[in-house]
């Protein structure tokens, strides 16, 4: 090796970030019982085999692991790997909203309080039932591709699943947790990832899972893409439109009495008359068209004139702007309970999502303070709470078709028939509507025995149902019961 090449080799090694680890001790009181736990926060290098030079570092993954102290055997202690969605989201939302022993303080309805924001002990944490590992995929949170590696190589469905799966394998190995019961919990696009991981972990590493927890699920993208020729989303979003109209008191007195009874009517109409009407297209008679317009107006709170102009097809982005237009407000997409205002009252779409605006500031400020003050992680780089990667995200084998990792979930059941799944849905979620999720799971071709291993839960909240304290209490209860059943 020449002197120059030795120098270059040394320089290249020096640019590879070193793994960092910070361990801190904490405690929380749950139902009068003190739980002592360790938080290990740091980075882990992902490496790949290269023929010419052996293992080469490719990316640095940031994670936060919560493990209960004084456990006789970690083999008896479940571990849950958690991630959010995007693609491009860090793990902060479920970390500081649902699962971890600290949560961002909101009022009981989910409204943020004035700054400065604060964390409080989370009396609903799942740490009582499972250790927790929060994962930031490459380009989110503090996770980055190493110098000279292109970040976009990880910005794809396939590579994202492989890299998160490799991290799970590596963490499990280093921490002697192969004998522990294992769970995944993903939210939003994180459920897309979880569907792919369910197969990947089992087929690539032989790592069978006890259970998968899906929060605000989207596995089959055909259910949510308002593209010409695809009428399915108009049908599947309709019950969530009705729930939103109910919340904002836009329905008739009869329909305002009981949300669940109203949704039963809407679901029957959506899966029946409305579906048939859209299938008929321009051959639908004027009489039948007017009947559909009448019912759509009744269930959505929109005017008959507006629905007629949409050709019976109400786009979600238009709905959030139109429902309360006369009051000068727009409703949220992630959670339609939230409202905001735009500069242009006559606009077709909102300028920003009021429900995202309500959570971005509180989660960002509290995380930065918590990770440095309490977890002793001294990184100066920007923590990417949520970076938009969707427009450039690659879907490989799904190009020219709709992404559908429900098929990978089906294969996971085939590889591991004991697998259990819980799906948590918010009635006011206009990003991943509950009826669309029901449709997806009703079309996974599984034997009856495996179908019994899938359970659905519902909450009067939105995409991040845990911002609503009564829903947080219930979803936590449901998830703890699920973990106990699956172990």
pLDDT in tens, 310-355: 999 999 999 999 999 999 999 999 999 999 999 888 888 889 999 9
* Whether residue 274 sits in one domain with residue 379: no
The confidence score (pLDDT) of residue 72 equals 79
> What is the per-residue pLDDT for 115?
93
Q: How far apart are CA 99 and CA 172, in angstroms?
A: 20
Does residue 228 lie in a domain region?
Answer: no
pLDDT at 12 over 80: no
Per-residue pLDDT reduced to its tens digit, 20-39: 999 999 999 998 999 999 99
Final residue in a domain of this structure, among 299, 320, 352: 352
Q: Are residues 333 and 364 in the same domain?
A: no
What is the chain's mean pLDDT, rounded? 94
The secondary structure of the chain, three-state, reads CCHHHHHHHHHHHHHCCCCCEEEEEEEEEECCEEEEEEEEEEEEEEEEEECCCEEEEEEEEEEEEEEECCCCCHHHCCEEEEECCCCCECCHHHHHHHHCCEEECECCCCCECCCCCCEEECCCCHHHCCEEEEEECCCCECCEECCCCCHHHHCEHHHHHHHHHHHHHHHHHHCCCCCCCEEEEEEEHHHHHHHHHHHHHHHHHCCCCCEEEEEEECCEHHHCCCCCCCCHHHHHHHHHHHHHHHHCCCCCHHHHCCHHHHHHHHHHHHHHHHHHHHHHHHHCCHHHHHHHHHHHHHHHCCCHHHHHHCCCCCCHHHHHHHCCHHHCCEECCCCCCCEECCCCCCCCCCCCCHHHHHHHHHHHHHHHHHHHHCCCCCCCCCCECECCCHHHCECHHHCCCCCECHHHHHHHHHHCCCCEEEEEEECCCCCCCHHHHHHHHHCCCCCHHHHCCEEEEEECCCCCHHHCHHHHHHHHHHHHHHHHHHC
% of residues, the chain, pLDDT over 90: 87
Confidence (pTM) = 0.94
pLDDT digit string, tens, across residues 84-113: 999 999 999 999 999 999 999 999 999 889
Q: Confirm whether 479 is domain-assigned.
A: yes
Q: Are residues 206 and 262 in the same domain?
A: no
Question: Is 316 in the same domain as 406?
Answer: no
Same domain for 314 and 440?
A: no
Structure tokens of 138?
């490459």
Q: Are residues 339 and 462 in the same domain?
A: no
Q: How confident is the model at residue 128 (pLDDT cuts 50, 70, 90)?
A: very high
Last residue of one domain, picked from the residues 309, 334, 352: 352
308 & 378 share domain: no
| Residue 480 resides in a domain | yes
**Contact predicate 88/139, CB 8 Å:** yes
> Residue 129's domain is classified under what CATH number?
3.40.50.1820
Residue 124 confidence (pLDDT) above 90: yes
pLDDT tens digits for range 394-416: 998 888 889 999 999 999 999 99
* pLDDT score at 2: 44
* pLDDT tens-digit map of 442-464: 999 999 999 999 999 999 999 99
Q: Are residues 323 and 400 in the same domain?
A: no
Query: What is the predicted pLDDT for the residue at 6?
Result: 54
- 251-304: pLDDT as tens digits: 999 999 999 999 999 999 999 999 999 999 999 999 999 999 999 999 999 999
- Same domain membership, residue 254 and residue 110: no
Identify the pLDDT of residue 52: 65
Share of the chain above pLDDT 70, in %: 96
Domain range enclosing 339: 235-352
- Residue 4: predicted pLDDT: 43
Region 183-206 average pLDDT? 97
Residue 326 lies in a domain: yes
Residue 197 domain-assigned (yes or no): yes
Residue 396 domain-assigned (yes or no): yes
- Does the pLDDT value for residue 15 go beyond 90? no
More confident of the two residues 148 and 376 = 376
Q: Band the pLDDT of 16: cuts 50, 70, 90.
A: confident
Domain boundary among 320, 352, 384: 352
In a domain, 5, yes or no: no
**480 neighbors 129 (Cβ within 8 angstroms):** yes
Task: Give the least confident one: 44-58, 203-217, 242-256.
Answer: 44-58
Q: Strand 54-68 to strand 144-145: parallel, antiparallel, or no bridges (unpaired)?
A: antiparallel
Spatial neighbors of 7 by CB under 8 A, at least 6 apart, are none
| Banded pLDDT at 3 (limits 50, 70, 90) | very low
Same domain? For 33 and 154 the reply is yes
DSSP 341-357: --S-TT-SS-SS-HHHH
Same domain, 288 and 192: no
Is the same domain home to 197 and 156?
A: yes
Task: Compare 24 and 47 and report the one with higher pLDDT.
Answer: 24
Count how many domains the chain has.
2
User: Which pLDDT value is given to residue 5?
Assistant: 53
Mean pLDDT of 234-243: 98
In a domain? residue 89: yes
């Amino acid at each position: 090796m020449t002197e120059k090449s030795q120098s270059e080799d040394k320089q290249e090694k020096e640019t590879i970030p070193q793994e960092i680890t910070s361990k801190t001790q904490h405690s929380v009181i749950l139902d009068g019982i003190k739980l002592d736990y360790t938080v290990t926060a740091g980075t882990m290098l992902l490496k790949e085999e290269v023929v010419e030079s052996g293992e080469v570092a490719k990316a640095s993954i940031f994670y936060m692991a919560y493990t209960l102290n004084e456990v006789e055997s970690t083999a008896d202690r479940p571990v849950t790997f958690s991630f959010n969605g995007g693609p491009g989201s860090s793990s902060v939302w479920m970390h500081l909203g649902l699962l971890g022993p600290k949560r961002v303080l909101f009022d009981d309805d989910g409204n943020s309080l004035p700054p400065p924001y604060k964390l409080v002990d989370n009396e609903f944490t799942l740490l009582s039932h499972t250790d927790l590992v929060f994962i930031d995929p490459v380009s989110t949170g503090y996770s980055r591709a190493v110098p000279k590696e292109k970040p976009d190589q990880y910005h794809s469905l396939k590579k994202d699943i492989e890299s998160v799966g490799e991290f799970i394998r590596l963490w499990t190995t280093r921490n002697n947790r192969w004998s522990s019961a294992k769970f995944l919990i993903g939210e939003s696009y994180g459920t897309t990832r979880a569907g792919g991981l369910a197969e990947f972990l089992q087929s690539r590493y032989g790592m069978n899972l006890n259970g998968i927890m899906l929060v605000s699920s989207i596995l089959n993208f055909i259910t949510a893409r308002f593209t010409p020729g695809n009428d399915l989303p108009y049908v599947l979003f309709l019950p969530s439109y009705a729930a939103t109209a109910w919340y904002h008191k836009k329905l008739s007195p009869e329909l305002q009495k009981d949300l669940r009874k109203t949704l039963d009517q809407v679901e029957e109409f959506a899966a029946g008359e409305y579906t048939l009407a859209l299938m008929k297209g321009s051959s639908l008679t004027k009489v039948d068209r007017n009947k559909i317009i009448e019912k759509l107006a009744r269930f959505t709170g929109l005017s008959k004139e507006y629905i007629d102009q949409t050709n019976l097809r109400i786009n979600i982005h238009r709905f959030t702007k139109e429902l309360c237009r006369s009051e000068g407000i727009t409703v949220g997409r992630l959670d339609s309970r939230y409202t905001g205002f735009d500069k242009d009252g006559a606009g077709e779409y909102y300028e920003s999502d009021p429900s995202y605006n309500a959570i971005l500031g509180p989660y960002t400020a509290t995380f930065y303070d918590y990770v440095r003050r309490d977890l002793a992680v001294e990184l100066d780089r920007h923590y990417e709470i949520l970076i938009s990667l969707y427009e450039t995200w690659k879907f490989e084998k799904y190009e020219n078709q709709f992404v559908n990792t429900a098929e990978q979930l089906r294969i996971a059941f085939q590889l591991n028939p004991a697998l259990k799944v819980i799906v948590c849905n918010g009635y006011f979620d206009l990003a991943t509507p509950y009826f669309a999720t029901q449709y997806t799971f009703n079309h996974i071709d599984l034997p009856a025995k495996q179908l019994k291993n899938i359970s659905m839960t519902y909450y009067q909240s939105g995409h991040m149902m845990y911002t609503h304290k009564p829903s947080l209490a219930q979803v936590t209860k449901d998830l703890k019961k699920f973990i106990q059943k699956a172990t």
